[in-house]
Structures are given as C-alpha cells and as structure tokens.
Structure 1
Amino acid sequence: MNTPESTVNPAGFTKYKVIMVALAAIIPVAVAILYFLPGVFVIPGLDVKMLPAVNAVLNSLTAMFLVIGYSFIRRKNVAGHRAMMGLAFLLGSVFLLSYVAYHSQVPSTKFGGEGIIKGIYYFILITHILLAAITVGLVLFTLYFALTEQFQKHRRIARWTYPVWLYVSVTGVIVYFMIKPYYL
C-alpha cells in the first residue's frame, strides 16, 4: 500500500537525524557548562537584566501554543495544529537563545526561601531541569517525524513530547516567579 509515510525515504534524512542527535546532546551540555562555570563567556557591557522576564513570557506563550495546538489536532485541524506547534517551536528556540545569553553573562540566582517553600521550589526546579534536557531531543524528533511525513512515528513520540514540553514550559514560569524576589 502506498501511504504518504511509505513514500518518504527516511534513509535520505539520516544526516538530519545525526544533526538532531548532536543538538539534543550539545544543548543540554552547553546549558550545564553555563550553570557550573558562570562567567565563562561574559561579554562586557551586555545588559541582560530583563531576559528572565522575557523568558517567562516566552515560556508562557509556548505553553499556550502547545495547548491550542493540541486542541487543534484533537479536532483534526491539521493546519491549525501545524501553525501552533510551529509557533511553539519558534518561541521555544528564541527562549533557548535568550536563556543561554542570560546565563552566559550572569551567575545563577540563589533561592532565598525557607521551610516547605524551599523544598517545593527545589522539587519543581530539579524536575524542570531534568525534563528540559530531555525535551530538546523529544521536540527535535517529533518535528523531524512530522516534517518527513512519518506521521505514525510522529504521533507515537508526540504522546511523550507534549506533556513533557508543556510541563517544562509551565514550570519554567513558576520557577521564574518563585525566584524573582531574589534577583539582584
């Protein structure tokens, strides 16, 4: 049977798979380097004070587009789904660039809360960080399968990508508001 998925030559996209695997590994490592070695890539005079707030807005919008995109595909509106997921991917990419720019210039802010709120904050932060590292690869492969019209594989991985990406986007905003009082 000649379905759209069978007419695509996945072997022809091997170089893109290699690039995505490399990005899925390199991006979390680069972010970890920025976290553990703050100030390594400082650009004198670069003002990044407003980037945490910008990042919170980008994460909020990403979450919004993810939810709208999900609702579109549930109603079989493929064009709407594609548009919303494209916007979520674009905003997520801009967020990542902004996040790296900020953390390349400023050491991580320490949370100053005490008691139960401190435990809640660190639980959210740690799960956010671990899942954010995984999200990069999930998003890239979900996008790859959509672009190469391997829709069965796309659906299979999207079932994992969507909730993880949504969690990371929402918890990114929560972490921002929890740590905002402690920014210098």
Structure 2
Amino acid sequence: MRLPTARARGAAALSTLVATALLLTGCLSIAIPDDDPDVVVTPEPGSPAPSPDDASTQRAEPAEPTDTVVCDASGAVITGEGHRVRVTGTCAVLEVSGDRNHVDAEDADVDVLQIAGQDNEIEVGSVRAITLAGNDNEVDARSGAAALELAGDNNEIDLSGRLEGGIVRGNDNEIDADGTGPVIQEGQDNDVG
C-alpha cells in the first residue's frame, strides 16, 4: 500500500481549509466530482446548488483553449494545474489554487484575489486586496491595491496604482507599484516600491 506524498497531504489539507473558509463565509462551492477538480464556480447566495451534471458548472481542461468563467457576487474558485481561464464580471473573491495556471481576469473587478501555489500567472483588472502564498507567481493588476499579504519566494506583483500597505514574508519578491504605504518586510532581498 502506497502512502500519500507530503505534497498530496498538503494539498488535501489546503483544500479542506479553503472549503471550510468558504462555507463559513457563506460561499458554497460546487465541487466537480473528479480526481482533479479544475474550476469551481460559486452560486449566488441563497440559490440551490446545481448537481455535478448541471451544464452551468464550468470547467477548464488542461492545455485546452481558454475557457471563460463569469464571476458573480459570491466569487469563483479555480483549482488544478496548467489551466488557461478567462474571468469576467465582479468577484467578491477570486481564488486560484494550484500550479502553472494562467488566469486572465483583466475584464473582472475583484475585491479579494487569493492565490495558493506555484508558477501561476494572473492578470486582473481591478483588485482591492491580494493574498498570495507560494513561489514564482506573477500578478499584473491594472489598479492599485488597498492591501497585500504575501508569503513565499520569487513572486512578482505589478500594480498600476498605489499599494496602500501590507506585509511581505519571504525572499527575492518584487512588488512594483505607483507609490506605497507602509509595507512590513520579513525576509531578504525583497524589492517593494
């Protein structure tokens, strides 16, 4: 019998944590029954959860042309590896969890962008807050951000507006903004400015 790898156990723990947080905040996720769920779209608050066979459940397949997810007020969750997804609409929370995903949300307004993983590329129109946990991620926003919380190494965040404040934990991260408020730095060789 093979035991799960540390990465698999960590991914399972992260998935459980994220699901619990979404349930506690009132965002019920619609999981796609598969060993590798890809894109999960959250329904409007108070609406019934569709069945897994419901055509409204949107899914992005690896190495396929870009699929589009229309975000609503409750948000959207994108999970998996190597997906290309386009996001439009207004998102309370846009969560990207996994590795090597490319998310084009330039036509979206996002309150909170949450990223967990490695080598993800996210382009976003407007964003109020960014939470990033991982390494080698790139975020390009056509706005500033009120808050940033970053934990990891070799991440790059480019804001077209001002960063009001935040915390950077890790090494060799680069945050480029048109002005910054107070940013706490814990680590080495971070470039914030």
**TM-score range, shorter-chain basis?**
under 0.3
- Relative contact order (C-alpha < 8 Å, sep 6+): which is higher? 1
Q: Which structure: larger Rg? A: 1
| TM-score of the superposed pair, with normalisation by structure 1 | 0.20
Larger strand proportion of the pair: 2
| TM-score of the superposed pair, with normalisation by structure 2 | 0.20
Larger helix proportion of the pair: 1
